[in-house]
Amino acid sequence: MSEQDTYRPLVFSVVEDDGENVIIEISEEDYRCDLEAGIDEGSILKPGHYKFRRGGFLARHPELKIKARERVRPDRVDDE
């Protein structure tokens, strides 16, 4: 099968979401549907609960935060 034939979006249910952490659930039924669609077993999440942290990338890599910049305004020259 080609890559196009096996494309299927990740299907999950949100179990808990507190704004910073989110817990999702992959059901057995969705897992089986992915396998039947021809998706490789190593490429899909197994049934169960998974905990993810929102916005964790910049917390782990503070050096990548955009630094505040001062806006420089040229002096205005009045026409006399």
Segment-wise mean pLDDT, segments of 10 residues, the chain, 80 residues: 65 92 95 91 94 86 80 68
The predicted pLDDT at position 59 comes to: 83
The predicted pLDDT at position 2 comes to: 47
The predicted pLDDT at position 60 comes to: 86
The predicted pLDDT at position 9 comes to: 87
Amino acid of residue 31:
Y
Question: Where in the chain are the domains?
Answer: 1-55
| Model-wide pTM > 0.75 | no
The predicted pLDDT at position 62 comes to: 87
**CA 44 from chain center: how many Å?**
15
The predicted pLDDT at position 48 comes to: 96
Tokens, residue 3? 């890559």
